[in-house]
Chains A and B, each alone.
Chain A
Amino acid sequence: MRLNVTDLEKRFYEISRTLHPDRFTTAAAEDRLASVERMTLLNEGYRTLKDSFARLRYFLELAGVSRSGRAVPSALAELWFEVQESMSEHAESAAAKLASFEELFASTSRSHARDVEALEREIDAALEKAEAAGLTHSSDVLPLPELLRKLSEWIQVEIYLRSLARDVQRLKAEGPQCR
């Protein structure tokens, strides 16, 4: 699951050099279209593999693990609710609420990232062990349903944290008048 990003980038550049539509401007219409399609696919693949989060989701999809157990950090969710409520109140108390929320958000995000990293290491170790034992087929390599399910849960948390981060940004940008 771990990936050398420098190698990935190098490979992406190499393939781009041959596939990119700029190499086909004087070609026949169908070749031009084909190059756009292939480059689109390459861009999508690179985007997925480059971002560790997108890579994990893609990996889980390949492994056929369904997304389940929407584990929302409850303390954080409650505080966020309070922040939104406080927006109609005094500006000062709203700002204070927001500050304490952001503090909790930051610490939650940090510990979450640590957890995911630990889990990834665990999965990598399991995969390496499977590889060392000569198991290469995905169905053999994946005797890790427990770990994958856990990973899937973490990803749900990650999705929640990301959407929360967007909401916070929007709230700060648009101010209380939108409430």
Chain B
Amino acid sequence: MSLKLTTLNSTFSGPSDQQDAGPIVGIDLGTTNSLVAYVPNVAKDDSTHRQPVIIRSPEGKSLVPSVVSFVHGKPVVGQEAKRHKVRDAEHTVFSVKRLLGRGFDDLKGTANGKMPYRIIPGEGIIRIEVGDRVYTAIEISAAILRELKLNAESALGVPVSRAVITVPAYFNDSQRQATRAAGRLAGFDVLRILNEPTAASLAYGLDRKRQGLIAVFDLGGGTFDVSILKLHDGIFEVLATNGDSLLGGDDLDLAIARTAAVEIQEQFGIDPFADRQLHAGLLETAENTKITLADESKAVLEFRIDSERIYRRTWTIAEFEKLVRPVLERTRQPCLNALKDAQIEPSELSDVVLVGGPTRLKIVQKVASEIFSREPNTSVHPDEVVAAGAAIQADILTGKNKDFLLLDVVPLSLGIETYGGLMSPLIPRNTRIPTVARETFTTFADNQNAVDIHVLQGERERVGDNRSLARFKLKPLQRLPAGLPRIEVTFLIDADGILQVAAKDLKTGNEQSIEVRPSYGLTDAEVEKMLLASLENAESDIAYRRLIDVKNDAQTVLHAAEKRLPDAERLVSAQDTAAIREAIEELKKSLEGTDSAAIRRASNRLNQATLRLAELLFKGVIETTTEGK
């Protein structure tokens, strides 16, 4: 049985949600592709009738490539940007999700350790240099989200300002915060940060017939998650989750690309990774080879190095599987950990649901079946199910779907640094959220005026092996002898899996404000500043978008006219043909510039010039068809 996902075309104008502050969309912000979905209003209130619909882009695609290319410093997103990936590697950013909420050092030895675009070495949050500007992964992600917002708005015909955005379940606090900041920057009120495997389970369990314990094995473009859930009468309870937020389809591409690079070096004496364009091109070729191998038993990888030299290699499925098996084996331990934390045996599972593009590969299905000792379920749409689930959660949050409820957990233990550089856990992993832990702090020296708190996330004992989330200072209100001040700190993990802290002086009962310095994130003030900057730019962005649209339309007119030139010489006067040629040249010239009014004028003139020709051609078509009869 497969999921009933209806796909929506952008020309469709859905039922009006206007009476209640507009629709809430569900967004899957993926490493490779992103999608947006929503649940249309239906007369019937039954949850099984509230089916999610994937919203298509104006080009009719449901997947929007998570690629942002900067053309003359202006962002272009999606399919259009993907075309620039190799041509303009330096100005094109992709797989940015793997950089969200991370530091430069996190990337060592991973698929993203070296990218065709420039990542600036340094402390704190990762920064990307494109041309003469520096961006954070949050801003790049915001550009993608903005594109999805526009797609949703043009499809639904109403402003869309509220969203549920999904993240890998194994995302830590910094990564979740970064995602939420990106949503805000894109102009969304982010109502919920939702775990991807949980979202997938919602779509999977929509028809209510599926109950019991399931495992969701979610291998995406850049991240891997496994969640064990209990489905019971509309309740979706996550029992445990685990994963690897630096493991995904990208790593399989990289394995192929690395093999190719070694062979290219041997055959031609060239290191393709040393050149941005070759690097980006090789990654893309490797990705295509992988995709071919999902359906075929072999694939020919062909890669043009320059005008004379081409590298060619045939990959059999057996060779490919041997190559990527060690990478995929990294999914095993997280699965076993999740089962252990959920305290269940694989035999108790009623289903293992595969999610994510790479699960189309036979070898991934094989590895999953080995881990869980059962054939996995491949019936859900691996690319669309997460966005569909996000839309269902959005529907739950609007209060329209009252039958369903998600109960989720925190993926990683949360703790603080204690004496000796060790982490003292406060909230263990897989605790149901929202949850709270309280800890009382005091001073070690007389008159000490501040206590430093270092918040960590992870499963290791030593501070350095865990993720540093933030630091903050507690300031006792009075100077007192050592050990006398009592400050209680509340660590709350909300339903988004995001940490909030509050402090109270137990002596006075006063709330204390604390300034949190995120280790790999932006402060609220920084996000606010970006938001203002983006509003200032919004107007020029819109003008730019309009220019792109005008240019695209003009290109279509131009191509059609050029194609018909031979017909013109045959059918119309030399004078008319010359006029057409002239109009073509004029349009070409205007297309080089950025004056959209001039382009539109030139485009109209070309249309005028070809009017007579078009008439004759049209007549000709009619005559040939009638003659034929």
Does A23 lie at the interface of the complex (its beta carbon under 8 Å from any beta carbon of B)? yes
Does A46 lie at the interface of the complex (its beta carbon under 8 Å from any beta carbon of B)? yes
CA distance A21 to B397 in the complex (A): 9
CA distance A26 to B399 in the complex (A): 8
Q: Which residues of B contact A39 (CB under 8 A)?
A: 434, 495
- Decide: B495 and A44 in contact? CB cutoff 8 A: no
Q: Which residues of B contact A47 (CB under 8 A)?
A: 431-432
- Decide: A36 and B396 in contact? CB cutoff 8 A: no
Pick the contact of A43: B192, B232, B433 (CB < 8 A).
Answer: B433
Q: Which residues of A contact B407 (CB under 8 A)?
A: 16, 20
Does B405 lie at the interface of the complex (its beta carbon under 8 Å from any beta carbon of A)? yes
Pick the contact of A40: B397, B406, B435 (CB < 8 A).
Answer: B435
Looking at the assembled complex, report how far the CB atom of A46 sits from the nearest CB atom of chain B, in whole angstroms.
7
CA distance A21 to B308 in the complex (A): 63
Pick the contact of B405: A17, A25, A36, A46 (CB < 8 A).
Answer: A17
Q: Which residues of B contact A16 (CB under 8 A)?
A: 235, 405, 407
Does A172 lie at the interface of the complex (its beta carbon under 8 Å from any beta carbon of B)? no
CA distance A52 to B194 in the complex (A): 31
CA distance A16 to B399 in the complex (A): 15
- Decide: B495 and A22 in contact? CB cutoff 8 A: yes
Looking at the assembled complex, report how far the CB atom of B498 sits from the nearest CB atom of chain A, in whole angstroms.
12
- Decide: B431 and A22 in contact? CB cutoff 8 A: no
- Decide: B398 and A26 in contact? CB cutoff 8 A: yes
Interface centre among B191, B399, B405, B434 (most CB of A within 10 A): B434
Q: Which residues of A contact B396 (CB under 8 A)?
A: 22
CA distance A16 to B396 in the complex (A): 14
Does B426 lie at the interface of the complex (its beta carbon under 8 Å from any beta carbon of A)? no
CA distance A39 to B408 in the complex (A): 12
- Decide: B405 and A22 in contact? CB cutoff 8 A: yes
Does A13 lie at the interface of the complex (its beta carbon under 8 Å from any beta carbon of B)? yes
Pick the contact of A21: B233, B432, B461, B495 (CB < 8 A).
Answer: B495
- Decide: A21 and B494 in contact? CB cutoff 8 A: yes
CA distance A131 to B53 in the complex (A): 58
Given known contacts A22-B397, A26-B399, is B461 in contact with A36 (CB within 8 Å)?
Answer: no
Report the nearest A residue to B407, measured CB to CB.
A16
Does A179 lie at the interface of the complex (its beta carbon under 8 Å from any beta carbon of B)? no
- Decide: B461 and A170 in contact? CB cutoff 8 A: yes
Does B255 lie at the interface of the complex (its beta carbon under 8 Å from any beta carbon of A)? no
Interface string of B278-320 (1 = CB under 8 A from A): 0000000000000000000000000000000000000000000
Report the nearest B residue to A173, measured CB to CB.
B460
Given known contacts A16-B235, A22-B406, A23-B399, is B495 in contact with A43 (CB within 8 Å)?
Answer: no
Q: Which chain B residues numbered 184 to 201 have a C-beta less than 8 Å away from chain A? A: 191-192
Q: Which residues of A contact B433 (CB under 8 A)?
A: 43
Interface string of A46-83 (1 = CB under 8 A from B): 11000000000000000000000000000000000000
- Decide: B191 and A36 in contact? CB cutoff 8 A: no
Looking at the assembled complex, report how far the CB atom of B460 sits from the nearest CB atom of chain A, in whole angstroms.
9
Given known contacts A16-B235, A25-B191, is B399 in contact with A40 (CB within 8 Å)?
Answer: no
CA distance A43 to B233 in the complex (A): 19
CA distance A40 to B237 in the complex (A): 15
Q: Which residues of A contact B232 (CB under 8 A)?
A: 13
Contacts A25-B397, A40-B434, A46-B432 aside, 15 further interface pairs with beta carbons under 8 A come to A13-B235, A16-B235, A17-B235, A20-B407, A20-B495, A22-B406, A22-B495, A25-B191, A40-B435, A40-B436, A40-B492, A43-B432, A44-B435, A47-B432, A170-B461
Chain B residues with CB under 8 Å of chain A are 191-192, 232-233, 235, 237, 393, 396-399, 405-407, 431-436, 461, 492, 494-495
Give 6 nearest A-B pairs by CB, closest first: A43-B432, A25-B397, A21-B495, A40-B436, A40-B434, A13-B235
A-B contact pairs, 23 of them (CB 8 A): A13-B235, A16-B405, A16-B407, A17-B405, A20-B405, A20-B407, A21-B494, A22-B192, A22-B396, A22-B397, A22-B405, A25-B191, A25-B399, A26-B399, A36-B492, A36-B494, A39-B495, A40-B434, A40-B436, A40-B492, A43-B431, A43-B434, A47-B432
